[in-house]
Amino acid sequence: MALDVAKLEALKELELMLEKLVNGPAYENLMIGVKEELKKLIKGNVDDMIIDLVVPALVPGLKAAILLQVEKISQDT
């Protein structure tokens, strides 16, 4: 039984960490990092404005995937 309590506490802690990730400054930093890496990969073949339009559309998909995992963790516990 103690193992189950420890597992539950660890999952709750993970859930809180994931929520902080997608709702805090780390999320903005992630978006900035993705933009910079994309610029390096395409090496100026695409206008920066297009990257600025595409990345905000991609990163929320990542955010949604993380939140889905948080929800799944919550339901499993």
Residue 49 — φ and ψ, nearest 5°?
-60, -35
Sign of CA dihedral 72, 73, 76, 77: negative
How far separated are the first and last CA of the chain, in Å rounded?
Answer: 14
Q: Where are the domains of the chain?
A: 2-76
Cα 59 off chain centre by:
7
- 30-60: per-residue pLDDT in tens? 778 877 887 787 776 667 777 777 777 776 7
- 77 pLDDT band, cuts 50/70/90, is low
Which among 71, 64, 63 is positioned nearest to 27, based on CA atoms?
A: 63
Q: What are 15's two structure tokens?
A: 């859930």
Q: How much is the pTM?
A: 0.43
